Amino acid sequence: MGRRSQQYHIQPPITLRRNRQMPHPVRLPRLLKSVTLGDPRQPVVAKSLPVESRQPDKAQVDQEKAAKLAEEEQQTLSQLLDAFRTLDEQIGEIEQRRKQSLVEMQQAAIELSVAIASRLLHETIVADELALENIVAEILKPLDSSQAVMLRLHPTDITLLTRRLEGKPPPWQDYNTFQLVGDKTLQRGECRLDSGDIGIVSQIEMQLTEIRQQLLEALDHAQIERRRPQTGDRTLRRFPDRRETA
């Protein structure tokens, strides 16, 4: 068998000719494919290869969601606490104003009641309807019937007292020594009792002043009781036995 002759094709190397941009020739060892000649004056833009998209870790995503949710819940809770504190302060201010208004109303009610009582007593005295016998009986209570007593009244009140006691036993009937004297220096409705070293004066205006003072003191005491802090057993209240009060 005869030997086949093998033919080899030797590609001559490519030589880039020299020009102004490339003053020296460049010899390439092999043939290049898909060569594009560009304008050297234009900038070269590198083409980026597509990067394979990476899926995020599910556990990490869930952890980030939980952290964000916890942060939002904490912010909401903080806002609610601030709102509650503001509301509590406003309620406290309203309660304080209510208590102050209540105190002022109670004080005004006391003053008005005393003024009305004084007016009614004055009208009663002018109308000769004052129960002088009761006033005299009250002023005689601290004394013993064996003591000598002098009772002073306004002359008009003596006339009124005599008329009101017609057919009735006088309050001083048990006293051994009793003297009723008219005194124009006294106001209508007033009386003065003298018995030895004892002197008693009954004045309607003074009695009204004492009543007013007692009411104001009772009001102050009630305010102090309301301002006291409530104890732990405040809700446990002791009520009277119905069998005993029936």
- Write the DSSP string, 44-107: P-PPPPPPPP-PPPHHHHHHHHHHHHHHHHHHHHHHHHHHHHHHHHHHHHHHHHHHHHHHHHHH
Most confident of 31-40, 42-51, 174-183: 174-183
pLDDT in tens, 36-56: 666 666 665 555 555 555 666
For residues 192 and 200, the answer to whether their CB atoms sit within 8 Å is yes
Residue with tokens 């599910």: 58
Domain ranges of the chain: 65-226
pLDDT in tens, 124-149: 988 888 899 999 999 998 888 888 99
Average pLDDT over every residue of 24-38: 63
Assigned CATH class of 65-226: alpha beta
For residues 137 and 178, the answer to whether their CB atoms sit within 8 Å is no
For residues 195 and 206, the answer to whether their CB atoms sit within 8 Å is no
